[in-house]
Copies of this chain bind each other. A is one copy, B any other.
Amino acid sequence: MLTISQLATYAGVTVRAVRHYHKIALLPEPARDRSGYRSYDSAAVVRLIRIRTLTDAGVPLARVQKLLDAAPQEFEDGVHDIDKELRAEIRRLEASRRRLARLAAGEQLALPQSVIDYLDRLRRHGVSERYLEMERDAWIMIAAQVPDLIDTVIAAKHEQLEDPDAQKLYSLVSEAVDNQGDEALLVEIADILERLYIRAAEAGQLGDEPFDDQLVKLLDAVMLESAPEAARLLAIMEKRGWKGWTRIEQVPPPGQRQFGSRTAPAG
C-alpha cells in the first residue's frame, strides 16, 4: 500500500496534483488507513500514470476523464486524435521558431512581402531612410485597415514608379522631409505633380484609381498625418486648382469630368 507521496513520486506528479485529481474525481479516492492517510493500490498507480501520459501530451483533464472512462476502441481513437494534435502543435512550434528568427533578425513582421519589396525599390532609388520610415509606417496602417487591397495598391504604385517624373518626385519628397520648411522644394514638387496630373488628365485617367471611398479617405489621412509638409503641399496644389490627393480632381477649369465630392481629407 502506497502513501500519497510514494504514489505521486513514482508516477512523476506532485502530491497536490493527486489531491486535485481526487477533487475532480479523475482518480478515485482510495481507502484510508486508521490514521486517515490515503492508501493506494496498484490500480491507482496504473491510472495515475495513464493520466500523466495524457496530460503531458497537453490533454485537458476533462478530456482525460472521458478518455480513460471510454471503451477501448474510443480510447484508441481518442489517442490517435491527440497524436494528430501533437503533430500539429510541433509544426506550429517550428513555424514559431522561424518567426522568432525573423524577429531577432529585425525583419518587418508587420508588413506583407509586397510592401517590403516596394520599400526596397524606393531605397534603391535613393530615397532617404527618414522618409522610408514614414512610408513604412503609413503602409503598416494601410495594410492593417485594408489587408486584402494592399497588393493591388502596391501593384499600382510600382506602375507609377515607371514614370521618370514619379521617380524624380520621390527623391524630391525625400529631400523635403529631410530639409523641413524648404518652401522652394515644395514648389518644385508641386510643379512635377502638376505635370503628372496634366498628363493623366490628357490620358483621361485622372480620378481613375480603382479604390473605394474608404481607402481614398484612409490614404489621404495617413499621408497628412505622417508629415507636416503634406498639408502645405496640398494647399499649394489647391491654389493651382487641384483638389484631393489619392483621388485628384481639377477644380476651376470647367468641362472636366467630376467624381465623388467627399474627397476632403478627414482631420
In the complex this chain forms, how many copies of it are found? 2
Partner of A41, one of B43, B92, B101, B137: B137
Nearest B residue to A56 via CB reads: B96
**A172 sits at the interface (CB 8 A):** no
For A110, list chain B residues within 8 Å (CB): 42, 45-46, 49
Q: Are B79 and A90 in contact (CB under 8 A)?
A: no
User: Mostly helix, strand, loop or mixed at chain A's interface?
Assistant: helix
B-contacting 9-mer, from A16-24, A122-130, A141-149: A141-149
Within the assembled complex, what's the spacing in Å between the Cα atoms of A94 and B93?
12
26 A-B pairs (CB sep. < 8 Å):
A1-B221, A2-B141, A7-B144, A42-B110, A42-B136, A45-B110, A45-B144, A46-B110, A49-B110, A50-B109, A53-B96, A53-B99, A53-B103, A54-B100, A56-B92, A57-B100, A79-B103, A82-B100, A83-B97, A83-B101, A86-B96, A86-B100, A87-B97, A90-B93, A90-B94, A93-B93
